[in-house]
Amino acid sequence: MAMVEVHDVHKFYGDLHVLKGVSLHVERGQVCTILGPSGSGKSTLLRCVNVLEEIQSGSITVDGTLMGYAKDDHGRLHELRPRQLAAQRSRIGMVFQRFNLFPHMSALGNVMAAPVRVAGRPKEEAKEQAMELLERVGLADRAHHFPAQLSGGQQQRVAIARALAMEPDLMLFDEPTSALDPELVGEVLAVMQDLAASGMTMMVVTHEMGFAREVSDVAVFMDEGVIVESGSPAELFDNPQQDRTREFLQKVLSHTE
């Protein structure tokens, strides 16, 4: 069964139709990159997967669990309680464009927060695990620094470690390198690449074409709230079938290469 199953999802902000029937599935262990111009709905789609945004039509399941609602025996949908939503989200890690680290906690405190507060693990055990994670993202020596004392790249790596601390089945990356100075992008992508190699299922909204091409199993091109085209990165990049895809790739690639 697919790890993520997005079925005919529609999303409105008031009258604005942001997602217009998006369907997508990501197999366990796959890396799916979502490309597209700004305003195409790609970040919104990602935020719908862990119910930071509500959807108005369609369904999203993660590892077989329907997200955001509970279905009763008669097929009717019920809203979830806050703690049920929290439980669903705790199985999905998310990394934000602007890091969103908790500024009043050290790097270590950030990584320990969810295991202690959400999973109720003993502090010592959580600390040990958090140190391992910081080691994994190459920041063990920065464990006691506050976010404001770290570079953007370091902050984003702490954010990845924080998201991994709940041992999620799925990781969502919402433009993880867009807020970074160019020379700091590489260190974050390297961590993400390691993570992909370890078999993590990942959905990545990005403008890093090199990463999309090398690391992803599936690349999806979105524009104006629909998926225009999807396929293996080789297909999408070298032989795009749609004009819109071709135009977008031309613009982006001529800019970066």
Partner 1 sequence: MSSKAPGAVNAPAVDEPPELIRAIPLPHYGRWATVAVLVVLAAMAVHGLVTNENYHWDLVFPMLFTYEIGRAIGWTLILTVAAMTIGIILAVTLAVMRRSANPVMRAVATFYIWFFRGTPIYTQLIFWGLIGVLYPRLSLGIPFGPEFFSFRTYDVFTAGVSAILGLGLNEAAYLAEIVRSGLGSVDKGQEEAAQALGMRPRSILFRIVLPQAMRVIVPPTGNETISMLKTTSLVTAVPFTLELTKVATDYGSQTLLPIPFLVVAGIWYLVITSILMFFQSKLEAYYGRGDSTTPGRLSLRGRRRQRTSRQAAINAAHTTPAATAAEWTP
* Alpha carbon distance 174, 53 (integer Å): 14
Nearest distance from residue 105's CB to partner 1, in Å? 8
Q: Which is nearer to partner 1, 90 or 129 (CB)?
A: 90
One residue of 41, 68, 93, 153 binding partner 1 per CB under 8 A: 93
One residue of 61, 136, 140, 146 binding partner 1 per CB under 8 A: 146
For 73-106, b where at least 16 C-beta lie within 10 A, e where not — what string? eeeeeeebeeeebeebbbebbbbbbebebeeeeb
* Alpha carbon distance 222, 109 (integer Å): 37
- Are the C-beta atoms of residues 153 and 75 closer than 8 Å to each other? no
By the 10 Å C-beta count (0-12 exposed, 13-18 middle, 19+ buried), 215 is classed as buried
- Are the C-beta atoms of residues 228 and 222 closer than 8 Å to each other? yes
State CA 155 to chain mean position distance: 16
**Six-digit token pair at 53?**
């945004």
3 state DSSP class of 141: helix
Q: Which is nearer to partner 1, 90 or 178 (CB)?
A: 90
Q: Does 145 bind partner 1 (CB under 8 A)?
A: yes
Nearest distance from residue 95's CB to partner 1, in Å? 9
Q: Does 120 bind partner 1 (CB under 8 A)?
A: no
Q: Does 149 bind partner 1 (CB under 8 A)?
A: yes
Q: Which is nearer to partner 1, 95 or 191 (CB)?
A: 95
Q: Which is nearer to partner 1, 52 or 131 (CB)?
A: 52
* Alpha carbon distance 247, 253 (integer Å): 10
Nearest distance from residue 46's CB to partner 1, in Å? 11
One residue of 98, 181, 214, 251 binding partner 1 per CB under 8 A: 98
Q: Of 22-81, which residues contact partner 1 (CB under 8 A)?
A: 50, 52
Q: Which is nearer to partner 1, 44 or 50 (CB)?
A: 50
Looking up tokens 């370890």 gives 198
Q: Which is nearer to partner 1, 101 or 209 (CB)?
A: 101
Residue 123 DSSP code: H
Catalog residues that contact partner 1 under the rule CB under 8 A.
50, 52, 82-83, 86-94, 96, 98, 100-104, 113-114, 117-118, 144-149, 159, 162-163, 166
